[in-house]
Structure 1
Amino acid sequence: MALDYKLLEIVACPICKGKLNYDKERSELVCRADKLAYPVEDDIPVLLENRARPLKEEELPL
């Protein structure tokens, strides 16, 4: 089973309420504005600030 792409249309960053991009390789939802990556575990996004991974500039998707 994979992350439901319809879900991406309605989920938002819990901090800035901005769009999240799915990084399939790392199984993360990425917020470019806050430079954070939220894990996706068992196809369920974990949108908790304390579980987010800070991203370096070079890790941000184009």
Structure 2
Amino acid sequence: MSVLIIAISVALLCIKIIFLKGGKFTSQHIHDNAALRKQGIHCVIDQDKEARKSNKAF
């Protein structure tokens, strides 16, 4: 029963990829999200680089 539920879930998640030509999942990375960049939110790696440059890493 649980295998059937998982199979249906995967099929529903793949609808965009299967039926659209060139369909793909959008990026889930913070640096690819324009709304978060606009608010000044960066990924932790970028925040760490900025803190090290300004000697505020700790």
TM-score interval (norm. to shorter): under 0.3
More strand by share: 1
TM-score by length of 2: 0.23
Which of structures 1 and 2 has the larger relative contact order (alpha carbons within 8 angstroms, sep 6+)? 1
- Greater gyration radius: 2
More helix by share: 2
